[in-house]
Every structure is written in C-alpha cells, then in structure tokens.
Amino acid sequence: MLRCNKVLNIAHRGGRDIRPEHTIVAYDQALVDGADVLELDVHETSDGVLVVMHDDAVDRTTDCTGPIKEMTFAALRECDAGYEFTTDGGATYPFRDMGLVVPSLEEVFDRYPDAPFVIEIKQEAPSIVDHFVEVVREYGVEDRMIGAAFDDAVLLELRAAAPEIATSLGESETTVFYLLSRDVLDPSYEPPGEFLQVPPTYNLEGVPVDVLHDGFVPRAHELDMFVHIWTINDEQEMRDLIELEGVDGIITDDPPLLTSVIEDLGAGD
C-alpha cells in the first residue's frame, strides 16, 4: 500500500478537522472516510508506555496539564482527549465527557492490524527508539509503516536499530535533496530514506522557498522515492498537487474531502 501507484490519503493525526486528534474515534472515522494511511505521533510516559499524541504536553487537547514524559500512563488516561475539540470556534465541544482517552501505541496497533501508518517519533530525549522498535516488531508493523522524525539524529538511531523499517528524510536530509534537485542530480547521491514528506513551501535558513519546483517530484521519482505533501486541507490545492505535481500522497486534516478529490480525478486506482 505505501509503495503503490495510487495517490495516498494520509489522515493527519487521524483527521483532526473531523474528530478529536489522535483518538480511536478519529482513526475509526478516517478509515470510514477513505483514508489509506493513519499518521501517528509518539511519546513515552514516565512509566514507560508509548502513547500517541502530537504535543509533548497534554495542555492543548485535553483538560489536563503537564509534559507527557512526567505523567504515568494511568494519570494520562484520566485526561479527556476530546475536551478541546470544536468545529464552530468554541460554541460547542461535542466530544467532551464522551470517555475519549489518549491511546497507547499498542492499543492502536492492536485495533488496526492491517492499516498502514506514518509514525513520527516526537520525543527526542530520553530516546524512545529502542522501545519503539520493540513494539513495532512485536505487532509485526515493520512492513506497513514509515518511520519519521524531524530530528536527523532520531532517524539515524531508528535506521540503525531497525534497517527493515522504511523512513522518510529528516529536515537537513530534505534540504540536501532540495538543493540537489534544483540542478542535475549528483550521480553519487544516495537518498537516506524512501519517502519525502514536505510542505509546499519550506523554510530554508529563514528564507521561504517553493519546494515543488519543476524538478523536485520527477527527480525524487528517478531515485525511487515517494513524495507526500503536508498539511493540505484546500480542495483546489489537493487537485493541483495531484494533477500538476504528480505527488504520491497528501497528508490532510480532512480525509473525506481528499477522498472526494481523488475519486473525482480517478487517482485512487
């Protein structure tokens, strides 16, 4: 699924515009809405449980406060993971007191035994890579996931610990490819990962640049890399990325919208 000819619909945080991000109800709904891949972010609690949440603290999305790595899993499960979700600017909060909790990584793997994942290791210190690899192997997820991290050091550690896991390029690795892709590719260049996951514009040493120049996607494809663009929630931008740029996947907060675009363009076959 991750290496196919169709345009992948990748549910960012489970489709955070549709359901409370990184909750089971979000992942369930994303798959119903046509998502091909679930995007996860991983941290570890103080008692060593890997959990799925974007931020390193629980304040933004729950009714609790504090860093995840300073909380036990039991304490984290007391937080209302649907508390801050609203689609009308705060007039209503339809998922408060609905029993939504922050899921463990094992819970997600157990519930979705066939789903492909993009999994970003958010926590940098202390390292959780070895524990992460252990859980991935225990559930047999190695061949249906992409490992990601902004920190190149985390990616290097992941690749060394589990060379069988496909990875995206890190921030500095992506910058190197971007610069090379603007000219004739150096024949000695070997990409460190299989996937490029980038925004349409990129901050290069403080200067915003257009990542998707004419050579970016074709040159990635020359090297057997796949290009995923984040985070796209506008219908016309989705259409342009598929029709004009030829991207391999789109990471979105709105999976049902992307599903309708892909179906309309016949890009899902």
Name residue 92's amino acid.
T
- The pTM for the full model equals 0.97
Residues 6+ apart with CB under 8 A from 74: none
Kindly report, residue by residue over 10-68, the tens digit of the pLDDT.
999 999 999 999 999 999 999 999 999 999 999 999 999 999 999 999 999 999 999 99
- Mean pLDDT computed over 83-100: 98
Question: Mean pLDDT for the chain?
Answer: 96
Predicted local confidence at residue 132, as pLDDT: 99
Distance CA 253, CA 251 (A): 7
CATH code for 8-43+116-265?
3.20.20.190
Kindly report, residue by residue over 130-150, the tens digit of the pLDDT.
999 999 999 999 999 999 999
Kindly report, residue by residue over 217-232, the tens digit of the pLDDT.
999 999 999 999 999 9
* Four-point Cα dihedral 26, 31, 33, 34, nearest 10: 140
Distance CA 99, CA 95 (A): 8
Q: Which two tokens stand for residue 74?
A: 């039991």
Residue entry with tokens 């990471």: 251
Q: Which two tokens stand for residue 155?
A: 């990616």
Residue entry with tokens 């066939």: 114
Q: pLDDT above 70 covers what percent of the chain?
A: 100
Name residue 207's amino acid.
V
Single out the residue of 105, 114, 148, 133 nearest to residue 1, CA to CA: 114
Kindly report, residue by residue over 187-213, the tens digit of the pLDDT.
899 999 999 999 999 877 777 888 888
Q: pLDDT above 90 covers what percent of the chain?
A: 88
Predicted local confidence at residue 183, as pLDDT: 82
The full 3-state SS of 227-254, as one line of letters, equals: EEECCCCCHHHHHHHHHHHCCCEEEECC
Single out the residue of 242, 207, 189, 253 nearest to residue 8, CA to CA: 242
DSSP per-residue string spanning the chain: --SSSSPEEEEGGGTTTTS-TTSHHHHHHHHHTT-SEEEEEEEE-TTS-EEE-SSSBSTTTSS--SBGGGS-HHHHHTS-TTTT--SSTTS--TTTTS---PPBHHHHHHH-TT--EEEEE---SS--HHHHHHHHHHTT-GGGEEEE-SSHHHHHHHHHH-TTSEEB--HHHHHHHHHHHTSSPPTT---SSSEEEE-SEEEETTEEEES--TTHHHHHHHTT-EEEE-----HHHHHHIIIII--SEEEES-HHHHHHHHHHHT---
Single out the residue of 161, 88, 150, 100 nearest to residue 128, CA to CA: 161
- Mean pLDDT computed over 138-166: 98
